[in-house]
């Protein structure tokens, strides 16, 4: 299915034209509270973030390590909901209409809201794409295909265990970019290695023209540069969320993010 270009497509076209790699930052919506989380997100583009991944707090985040689990718990304890996550995206759009937002989470809150209502509300809030980690390609009719019909990219994860037989199935209805999970296991569990990631990125690229972004296990400017140099960009989540967990100021968090973005952009 051909869909109109999203902010994600536009961003990657701009980066490609400039010969730059993408830096993607993940934060949990509502962590540590609604107000500070919004201030952090608003500070990300100026810190060099090309795409924002906004986590949807959920009670049972099976793909996430302890850092992201605790972030979700903090957000939920502070009263964050799916509606407030959408409101946060809409508030961000009042000051920034170009930086792509990808909502990342699990299917249950979306299913509970109703797929059609969620997609209409997400589009209206200025969301550009979805990463829903517990919906495999076999369930594409549930959300993936309706999302693309609504003008949202549906971004799929590929992992070290996604073999040659499985990969084409994973890529079939994917759009925006492919998110390669560099390590087996949950977020924040291990460090990515360029030696192991390089061949996997090349393998995925042999099956798709979409950008391949690598995440999980990237936690320093040096690692961001190493991984971005062999992919189309890199994602950092747990290392940023750790800064939030430590109670750092928005300015300090933005400075840390900028060091990571500078690393990725120097690749």
- The phi, psi pair for 68, rounded to 5°, reads -75, -35
Terminal Cα distance for the chain, rounded: 33
Q: DSSP assignment, residue 50?
A: S
Task: Determine whether 232 is an active site residue.
Answer: no
Identify whether the C-beta of residue 12 lies closer than 8 Å to the C-beta of residue 133.
no
User: DSSP H helical segments within 126-187, as ranges?
Assistant: 144-149, 167-171
Tokens in use for 56? 């949807």
CA distance 11 to 256: 22
Identify whether the C-beta of residue 38 lies closer than 8 Å to the C-beta of residue 91.
yes
Task: Determine whether 53 is an active site residue.
Answer: yes
One of 9, 34, 64, 232 is an active-site residue; which one?
64
CA distance 74 to 23: 25
Separation of CA 22 from chain center: 12
One of 50, 53, 140, 232 is an active-site residue; which one?
53
List active site positions: 53, 64
């Amino acid at each position: 299915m051909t869909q109109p270009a999203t902010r994600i497509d536009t961003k990657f076209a701009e980066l490609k034209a400039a010969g730059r790699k993408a830096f993607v930052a993940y934060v949990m919506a509502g962590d540590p509270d609604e107000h500070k989380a919004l201030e952090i997100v608003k500070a990300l583009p100026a810190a060099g973030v090309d795409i924002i991944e906004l986590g949807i707090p959920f009670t049972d985040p099976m793909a996430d390590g302890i850092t992201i689990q605790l972030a979700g718990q903090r957000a939920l304890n502070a009263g964050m909901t799916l509606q407030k996550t959408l409101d946060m995206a809409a508030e961000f759009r009042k000051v920034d209409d170009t930086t792509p937002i990808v909502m990342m989470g699990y299917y249950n809150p979306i299913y509970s809201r109703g797929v059609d209502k969620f997609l209409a509300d997400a589009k209206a809030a200025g969301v550009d794409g979805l990463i829903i980690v517990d919906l495999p390609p076999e369930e594409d009719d549930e959300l993936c295909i309706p999302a693309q019909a609504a003008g949202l990219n549906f971004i799929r994860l590929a992992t070290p265990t996604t073999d040659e037989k499985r990969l084409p199935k994973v890529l079939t209805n994917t759009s925006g970019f492919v998110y390669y999970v560099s390590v087996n296991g949950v977020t924040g569990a291990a460090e990515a290695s360029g030696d192991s990631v390089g061949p996997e990125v090349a393998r995925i690229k042999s099956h798709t023209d979409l950008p391949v972004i690598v995440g999980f296990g990237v936690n320093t400017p040096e690692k961001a540069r190493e991984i971005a140099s062999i992919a189309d960009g890199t994602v950092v989540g747990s290392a940023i969320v750790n800064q939030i967990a430590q109670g750092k100021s928005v300015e300090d968090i933005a400075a840390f993010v900028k060091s990571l973005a500078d690393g990725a952009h120097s690749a």
